[in-house]
Structure 1
């Protein structure tokens, strides 16, 4: 081989290695990371960086402490696979955790997916979706295996996902800073601050970030919109099937629940000292903590979402690290939040997801228990006085049925869908709309892609369950299985519409910036508080008014709820 051919071969090898070795030097010399190439929905290359540490592992002495920014590392960290999920105890979680992954307390990682090669000398500044995963604050993950972003990538969006602590590890607190409050939300805030420092390295624009999430991820996105910690640091918000005004989204007696955990771990534990509890919790194994049977005996209801206890709390406003500093309903009433465009909505019958293991007889039994207990129909966090409770509950139930919940299971499911998700979500949208553009939707398309057709359906043909819309946005465990071509033309069209609406909003803060044949030439109007409009997403796209008995429920609740106004 002559010298010229040798020169070409050596340079080809060097060039190929450089092209395949995707290295990014992070901000502040935290360290270098190595990414890899994945394929988008259209088969194009994009660049993935998975399981990047954004915080010091919250283990040992750091268990139940506020998150600390990740320390520098030497060399190049391989960030090409997700291996860990945060500690969780839930039958549904176990069925979703891929075999290749393990539960661990050391789980505070962030993932970045970008359609442009990092370190590209061209000035590419793409919009960013910062996605907060769902799971009721007790299970789930932000890993690639759960949330495959390939369709957002095809639309020119940089996507960021992350893990955060949940369950007792993220939301148990002694309410006195011995065990600080809202550790899970503080993890999310630290991850977001990581994005603000680093996303330009991946082609993202810090001035074009949309914070989004579904269910508990939607609660969190709402809490961040209300929080002074990130005031003005996001361009827009997406809140799916959630709101910080949900009655289940706040703990009102955190010390009681915290010390209940101590007692669950050790029946002889009788101390009321916060430091004693912290020591007990640090001595316990992570598996013992996550498996501990802690029940809220003051509200002993296990139906659907109502048994969730490890959720955010309202913190001391004088604490500089606090995320939630005032009653949420009051804050949004007075406009004390980041004024930014909001895309929000719900599935047409959310509660179907939560009755998947119940028979019709079970539903009738549960409905009867509500009929007998007004404090089940009117959540304690609504702060209705005892003297008004029975009357308020009776009026509330009469909106859905002129019978009883025990004899009308269809009405009982509709009530639960509204009470648990829809009504507080619309209330949040209505109040935000007085200060910022809001686009409200109802997802009513019942297709094959969501894989939920097996769920009990006692309310009608368009009874679309919680999580259904995600299947038309993402791949992975939380998205749909296979490829779009595996499904009907109607499913494929719905997915294209959903991706188009969501990515338009991320790009332009408007889901329909112009007329589009794919979207039936529909223009999605802004919500007006005086006459609530929303887009019904079914086989057709249709603008409708006054959703889900909202006006009637609002009339009852505003008559009886009392300060502090936390939820709705």
Structure 2
């Protein structure tokens, strides 16, 4: 009997190995590539390709060019360095100028996959830092596409693009137009469109998605006229092209500051000198100050961002939504996206014991409404304190500070982008969400107060399935949230409708229309009751209608 069992096991293993689905060597426009095939379960395999070049090593302040190709088989088994950037404390650099590579995860169940939907990830990091794999803890990369690919049966691609001075420095004219990082993203999307069929993907069903500066990048990629027909759908998480930090309206001033730091002139010889400057020195010269206060919020330090260059962005983003008319679009924010910023501007909000002075609320509002002077501040203050009563609690004042930051930096611009998308859409569908799973750092004995909701970037761990990858770090409710998000995101990638696909969802997500403004609230408790409409309408109305119509007192 034992012998028979042994033979049965041996035969089963043999059949499983013999049928191990793998693409083997793949032909691309640059040459042949081979990746790594991993076994995920019974008749479930995945091919992982790490570090495939999608463009040549970029020239300084130049658009990316096609890769010249290679001989033999390129072993795509190692992640490549991220693009040259400052470290998190901005004291030195890391990465390389040779950084235009992408990674691909291809799931196979039973047989080799073909015609799968494709999801292309664009990372965030304030256009200053970040990489195609994200943070790495014990070889567990934040942006590993494995869980999304496996659970949603889609191909996942993550890409590198230039950041900081090398990616976004601009003189505001044709001598140094800027937006190099956006061109890199566009080159990667175009490469995927041309080559993904060889990896079992459907070039006619590509979804781009990203968070923060990556979410704004996704938004820019839908608005540029250069992407016609390259992808079908897009998801912006906590960032759109209309965010106040997404466009630098006066890039020349910052370019001159960088030039002076690296001993270059600021006249017509500036760009030639910058091109000759050491890359690391140039990168360090683009560091941003992390010191902030309610009178000078951190947001105003984010100066390395895309510009209206007359090419990638021919006009103000608000006037380019006709280019996204056929693109299905999801955009949303975390309910306390502004916490990470306002806790630096007004540190007392994180103290359980110290009051936040009401004066600090006024100072922060005065900064955000500074162009409109006292009338702007008075209007804003009356809107944000209307529910306070005569004696607001300590928590109420602190939460109001976070709401102000969240609304101004993320939520209101996202609602405006959704409205523009829905109004300009022909075949493109529009969906809005609010992510509200509470932050895991909040509570007794933890760094954040217990009232902190979903902070900026809290959604990433769930979209990338970390509660499944590292189950010991999470509760079952966190796995529920992750399951829901992967289901909505991959259903949307397949069909353009987050409710329809192969994955079951806990609530039907209605379309956002330019009259109804419907949205879905996403968290572990969600059900059909978590559908709402006109998200924070009073505050959206203030920032988009009331404030702009007040006379401008201070020009930028």
Q: TM-score by structure 1 length?
A: 0.80
1:378 lines up with 2:369 in the alignment: yes
Q: Give the aligned partner of residue 52 of structure 1.
A: 52
Decide which moves more: 300-309 or 167-176.
Answer: 300-309
Contact between 1:93 and 1:139, CA under 8 Å: does it hold in 2?
A: no
Structure 2 counterpart of 1:331, from 315, 320, 332: 320
Report what 1:6 is aligned to. none
- Does residue 463 of the first structure (1) align with residue 469 of the second (2)? no
Return closer, same or farther for 1:234/1:514 CA change in 2, 3 Å cut-off.
closer
Aligned to 2:10: none
Distance 1:93 1:481 in 2: 33
Contact (CA 8 Å) 1:165, 1:187: kept in 2 or not? Answer: yes
8 A Cα contact 2:243 2:414, kept in partner: yes
**Match for residue 441 of structure 1 among 433, 447, 459:** 433
Tell me how far 1:270 sits from its aligned partner. Answer: 3.9
Distance in 1 (CA, whole Å) between partners of 2:357 and 2:89 is: 22
1:278 is aligned to 2:283 = no
**Which residue of 25, 28, 31 corresponds with 1:26?**
28
Q: In 1, Cα distance between the equivalents of 2:538 and 2:406? A: 15
| Residue ranges of structure 1 left out of the alignment (5+ in a row) | 1-11, 317-321, 380-385, 564-568
Q: Which residue does the alignment assign to 1:359?
A: 347
User: How do 1:6-45 and structure 2 match up within 5 A?
Assistant: 22-27=24-29, 30-40=30-40, 44-45=44-45
| CA distance in 1 between partners of 2:143 and 2:199 (Å) | 19
Of the candidates 307, 312, 315, which is equivalent to residue 309 of structure 2? 315
Q: Distance in 2 between matches of 1:495 and 1:561?
A: 39
Structure 2: tracts of 5 or more residues without a match: 1-13, 135-140, 551-556
1:415 to 2:404 alignment: yes
**Deviations along 1:352-373, whole A, 9 cap, x unmatched?**
2335666317998898467358
User: How far, CA to CA, are the matches of 1:366 and 1:196 in structure 2?
Assistant: 53
Q: CA deviation at 1:511?
A: 1.2
Cα deviation digits, residues 416-443 of structure 1 (max 9, x gap): 0111001110111122123232121111
Asked whether 1:503 is paired with 2:487, we answer no
Q: CA deviation at 1:280?
A: 2.4
> Distance between the aligned counterparts of 1:147 and 1:328, measured in 2?
28
Alignment of 1:131 with 2:121, yes or no, is yes
Distance change in 2, residues 1:375/1:284 (3 Å): farther
Distance verdict in 2 for CA 1:441–1:547, change over 3 Å: same
* Aligned equivalents of 2:221, 2:258: Cα separation in 1: 28
Q: Distance in 1 between matches of 2:485 and 2:89?
A: 26
Aligned counterparts of 2:158 and 2:357: Cα–Cα separation in 1: 37
Mapped to 2, the partners of 1:77 and 1:348 lie a distance apart of 44
Matches of 1:361 and 1:496, distance apart in 2: 32
Greater CA drift, 185-194 or 358-367: 358-367
Give the superposition deviation at 1:42. 8.9
Aligned to 2:170: 173
1:123 deviation in Å? 7.8
Correspondence for 1:543:
530
CA distance in 2, matches of 1:469, 1:373: 26
User: Quick check: 245-254 or 285-294, which moved more?
Assistant: 285-294
Matched, 1:394 2:387: no
Q: Give me the CA root mean square deviation.
A: 3.6
Residues 161-206 of structure 1, C-alpha deviations (whole Å, 9 max, x = no match): 1000011111101222222320000011111111111000001111
How many Å separate the matches in 2 of 1:309 and 1:326?
19
Instruction: Decide which of 313, 322, 333 is 1:346's aligned counterpart.
Output: 333
The answer to whether the 8 Å contact 1:374/1:390 transfers is no
Distance 1:252 1:444 in 2: 32
SS in 1 for 2:35: strand
**Distance (whole Å) between structure 1 residues aligned to residue 436 and residue 201 of structure 2:** 33
Partner residue of 2:300 out of 284, 300, 306: 306
In the superposition, relative to structure 1, how do residues 559 and 113 fare at CA in structure 2: closer, same or farther (>3 Å)?
same
